């Protein structure tokens, strides 16, 4: 069961049109139809009569619609109450990508606390899409994310403020061979493509690596042998000698210093990213306002 299915169904009950509800819910019509079918499977009854136009709810759909509307009202009311309590509890909620949450946030928070005093914070690790959505929908106070001019985070400057906290280099790395050189060195050759530990194409780092490869003077000869959204998992595979991976420098600083990993290509195979902190301008919270002023 997914709460989105209830929201989809309530929209459909209102519009009585799959196309209009799909636009309202910002999904494709086929995706909306699949989600309604999933809801019907969960309920165990047909909720929508698709034999008429405009569509109508079945008797089961009308009964379920009343319960769904009441359930959503209770959930939203409770969430509003908890958000008020969260504000009064003075907890700073920070949404961040997994790599930043693991490797940048702890040291940054320590630095802030050493300069400005104790600060209660809650980190909410998620992919970039869900992190941005969390800020837009008011489910967090701050968004910590990467930014590059070619891969910008699209947030309205009239509604969201931003600070530049630092920079990060994404680089290709490999375990060293006995001579200390990378066991897998770019660009590789067609006869023996390099084993490649890849990000999924839709992840932020996946798009970063695509840009790096597209700008290189010579194409990389790679053979995908493992794939993950998480830099930490690719790091583990790289340390085990399974192949080459592009990783953020903060994720591998210790391994580079100890020689467990070495750079597997020159500067043309790297990309410099900004680390940015976003907040919603219109969302007031005394603790956050004070912290933001100090950070600025």
Q: Which helix (H) or strand (E) holds 218?
A: none
Q: In the predicted model, what is the mean pLDDT of residues 166-178?
A: 96
Distance of CA 162 to the CA centre of its chain: 18
- Is the pLDDT assigned to residue 175 strictly greater than 60? yes
Give the CB-side neighbour count of residue 254, counting CA atoms within 13 A.
Answer: 4
**At 277, is the pLDDT very low, low, confident or very high (cuts 50, 70, 90)?**
very high
Per-residue pLDDT tens over the stretch 23-54: 988 889 999 999 999 999 999 999 999 887 88
Percent of the chain with pLDDT over 70: 98
- Is the pLDDT assigned to residue 89 strictly greater than 60? no
Give the three-class secondary structure for 93: strand
Which pLDDT value is given to residue 255? Answer: 96
Cα distances (Å, whole numbers) of residue 110 to 107, 140, 237: 5, 20, 30
What is the chain's mean pLDDT, rounded?
91
């Amino acid at each position: 069961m997914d709460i989105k299915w209830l929201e989809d169904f309530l929209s459909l009950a209102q519009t009585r049109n799959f196309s209009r509800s799909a636009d309202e819910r910002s999904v494709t019509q086929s995706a909306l139809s699949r989600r309604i079918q999933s809801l019907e499977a969960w309920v165990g009854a047909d909720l929508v009569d698709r034999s008429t136009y405009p569509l109508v709810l079945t008797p089961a759909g009308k009964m379920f619609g009343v319960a769904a509307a009441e359930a959503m009202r209770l959930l939203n009311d409770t969430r509003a109450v908890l958000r008020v309590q969260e504000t009064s509890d003075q907890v700073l909620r920070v949404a961040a990508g997994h790599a930043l949450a693991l490797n940048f946030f702890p040291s940054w928070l320590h630095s802030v606390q050493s300069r400005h005093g104790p600060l209660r914070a809650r980190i909410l690790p998620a992919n970039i899409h869900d992190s941005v959505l969390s800020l837009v929908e008011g489910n967090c106070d701050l968004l910590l994310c990467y930014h590059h001019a070619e891969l910008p985070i699209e947030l309205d400057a009239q509604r969201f403020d931003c600070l530049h906290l630092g920079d990060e280099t994404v680089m290709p790395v490999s375990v060293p061979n006995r001579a200390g050189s990378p066991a897998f060195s770019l660009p590789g050759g067609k006869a023996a493509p390099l084993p490649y530990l890849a990000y999924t194409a839709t992840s932020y780092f996946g798009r970063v690596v695509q840009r790096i490869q597209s700008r290189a003077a010579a194409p990389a000869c790679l053979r995908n042998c493992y794939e993950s959204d998480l830099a930490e998992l690719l790091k583990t595979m790289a340390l085990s000698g399974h192949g080459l991976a592009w990783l953020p420098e903060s994720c591998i600083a210790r391994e580079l210093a100890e020689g467990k990993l070495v750079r597997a290509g020159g500067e043309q195979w790297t990309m410099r990213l900004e680390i940015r902190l976003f907040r919603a301008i219109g969302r007031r919270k005394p603790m956050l306002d004070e912290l933001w002023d100090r950070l600025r």
